[in-house]
Structure 1
Amino acid sequence: MEYLLQVKIGALVGLLLLTLFFGSIPARVKWFRRTNGTETHRTVLSLISCFAGGVFLAACLLDIIPDYLSDISTELDVRKVETSFPLPEFIMASGFFMVLILEKMVLTCKDMGGAQEERAPLIADDRHGHGHGHRASADLESSGHHVHVDFQAHSPFRSFMLFLSLSLHSVFEGLAIGLQNTDSKVLEICIAILVHKSIIVFSLSVKLVQSAVRPLWVAAYIGVFALMSPLGIGIGISVVEAQLASGALIQCVLEGLAAGTFIYITFMEILPHELNSPGKQLLKVLFILLGFSVMAALTFIG
């Protein structure tokens, strides 16, 4: 086996194990799942969520969108496609509206089906044995305390779309590793993705836990997400070994749809919920800025 291939397989295994480890922390630690903790607990959990919001904002503006615009510009130049129409931006907008329309269709069907509450989450707590979370939230609201972990405010559907867009992007990150032809470049990209993805998967796991997604489904989401980059590496290795160069345009279109999906989730779900919740507004903004700054620094170094 060539040394380059060994390095790529090592990167595959390392990405898989570290992603599983960091993604399992919020799902396994009870502290992250408590909905009736003290005021200090709720504040800390809120700030962690704000930090995650900053991470996703940076991932959206500094990673996913620039990568997509660069890839599709290169592909259009290779194919000698010249148009005054902003095609790359249109593809992103299509991804945005795809999620918006799909979400509203799901909510409309739920309302027509006789939902008990107008703003109930798309995966109802009571149907899956999580009724205690709703009762705890109601008790705390009646006591006059602000509850950040409001399971009615986090949409499991939006969390699923967040997971989907991040997973698709992870495939392309892995593909970048698998397509490299030098071991030093493989290690350089792999280290950058390891640090980046560890923070991303931790933040994703926090959002899934706060969205009242069942623990079994959280584990399934994190497991599938952990497999995405290794899958991309495997595809890249196969392409290099088979010396294939087709499908680049399809990859770019999928990247654009994923970018549009991520824009929707970031600006319609994560940031509005955190910033519209009362209490400690400046501190929340500070933690959003902190999460953004960490990802910005990693992007700059990488």
Structure 2
Amino acid sequence: MYFEVQELGKIAIKSTIQNDHLVSYTNAFTSGLFLSVGILHILPESNETLIEFVDYPIAFLIAIFGFSLLLFVEKVLFRNIEDNSCSQELQQLDHQGKHQVIILENSEHQHTDKLINSFKHDQNSLKPYLLSITIGLHAIFEGIAIGVTTKTSDTLALGLTLMSHKWAEGWALGIAFRQSNIQKDRQIKFIICAAFLSPIGIFLGMLISNQSILIIGIVQSITAGSFIYIASTELIVEEFNKIQNQTFQYILYLLGIILMSLIVYFE
């Protein structure tokens, strides 16, 4: 997983090719895998653990909190940071009186285009940092899910599921950095840091697995919620809002669900 993110991120930064279709197909397939992992695999296991302590479906409630935590961080906290940045840029342009350029005559349209392109360029510099944090949160929770597993079959199933998705994360991160005005050396450093987060999450999960069964059950519920969140809000919504190839993407989505369902069944 480390090398997938690192190498694909570097390739994306240096490459002039942008294969969006391949990434979309992978995300569609992975969305089915993630949804099945969260609902069919991790959540029932955590519920079986926690039901011994509380006569209430507490595992499902904790999973909702895990889902809500990522929802808050990505869609509320980071969105406010991004919106505030945009607002500050616009206020600065307005303060300098440059907004008047947009309504000037045709002779000054070239200056207007330069101003707009400069503004977009600044915004592209913020995007990869926010994306790095978002992918980092996902990577840590995903790694913890592997780390707390006790069966070899569970570890292999989760590992293969995540490996089918990690290269796409590295590619997306590399593309975001490539479109920014950040120095290449700093781009590579951020890619390497993002790649390290999955192994760090696995290590944290291994530490947690040495604790009480109650803690393991709670962590499993949180990771189940995070898997459901990644599948539903990050992958499914993003990919199926695109107009092209929806039928093929849906087939890949179903194949992901079927594959993980078979793994759980034979397990």
TM-score between both structures, scaled by the size of structure 2: 0.67
Answering whether residue 209 of structure 2 is matched by residue 254 of structure 1, we say no
Change (3 A) 1:22 1:99: closer
Distance 2:213 2:157 in 1: 27
Look up the SS of the partner of 1:277 in the other structure: coil
Q: 2:257, 2:203 → 1: CA distance?
A: 26
Residue 201 of structure 1, aligned match among 159, 163, 169: 163
Partner of 1:59: 37
Aligned to 1:101: 72
Relative distance call for 1:197 and 1:28 in structure 2 (3 A) is: farther
Superposed CA offset, 1:2-24 (max 9, x none): xxxxxxxxxxxxxxxxx445555
Q: Structure 1 residues 255, 268: CA separation in 2 closer, same or farther (over 3 Å shift)?
A: same
Q: Distance in 1 between matches of 2:247 and 2:82?
A: 37
1:282 to 225, 247, 264: 247
> Higher helix share goes to which structure?
2
CA drift at 1:65: 1.5
Q: State whether residues 141 and 223 of structure 2, in contact with CA within 8 Å, keep that contact through their aligned partners in structure 1.
A: yes
Name stretches of at least 5 consecutive residues in structure 1 with no aligned partner: 1-18, 131-153, 177-188, 240-245
Aligned residue for 2:244, secondary structure, equals coil
1:89 is the counterpart of 2:60: yes
Is 1:158–1:265's contact at 8 Å kept on the other side of the alignment?
no
1:294 aligns to what?
A: 259
2:197 alignment partner in structure 1: 224
Look up the match of 1:126.
Answer: 125
Radius of gyration: which is bigger?
2
1:144-174 deviation digits (Å, cap 9, x = unpaired): xxxxxxxxxx95544333212212212211x
- Partner in structure 1 of residue 83 of structure 2: 111
2:244 maps to 1:272: no
Q: Which amino acid aligns with 2:194?
A: Y
The residue identity in structure 2 corresponding to 1:291 is G
- 1:102-251 equivalences in 2 (<5 Å): 102-103=73-74, 104-113=76-85, 114=87, 125-126=124-125, 155-173=131-149, 176=150, 189-211=151-173, 212=176, 214-229=187-202, 232-233=205-206, 239=210, 247-251=212-216
Whether contact under 8 Å (1:23, 1:202) holds in the other structure is no
In structure 2, relative to structure 1, the CA distance for the partners of 1:195 and 1:108 (3 Å cut) is closer
Residue 30 of structure 2 aligns to a residue in which SS?
A: helix
Cα displacement (A) at 1:107 = 1.6
Q: How far apart in 2 are the matches of 1:62 and 1:253?
A: 17
Does the 8 Å contact 1:20/1:222 carry over to 2? Answer: yes
Q: Percent same amino acid among aligned pairs? A: 17
- Give a deviation string over 1:79-99, Cα, whole Å, max 9, x none: xx445xx43322222222222
Q: TM-score, normalised by structure 1?
A: 0.61
* Deviations 1:223-253 (CA, angstroms, capped at 9, x unpaired): 33235446655775xx5xxxxxx63323322
Structure 2 regions of 5+ residues with no counterpart? Answer: 91-118, 178-186
Q: What is the CA-CA distance between 1:204 and the residue it aligns to?
A: 2.7
Q: Do 1:53 and 1:266's aligned partners in 2 also have CA atoms closer than 8 Å?
A: yes
TM-fit CA distance, 1:71: 1.8
CA contact under 8 A between 2:37 and 2:227: conserved in structure 1?
no
Deviation at 1:49, TM superposition (A): 2.2
Relative contact order (C-alpha < 8 Å, sep 6+): which is higher? Answer: 2
Contact 1:201 1:222 in 2 (8 A): no
Q: Note if 1:48 corresponds to 2:26.
A: yes
Work out whether residues 6 and 170 of structure 2, in 8 Å CA contact, stay in contact via their aligned partners in 1: no
Shift of 1:109: 3.2
Task: State the match for 1:69 in structure 2.
Answer: 47
How far apart are the structure 2 equivalents of 1:226 and 1:57? Answer: 22
For residues 180-218 of structure 1, the C-alpha deviation after alignment (integer angstroms, 9 at most, x for no partner) is xxxxxxxxx325523540331340331242143654334
SS in 1 for 2:51: helix
Which amino acid in 2 is paired with 1:59?
Answer: V
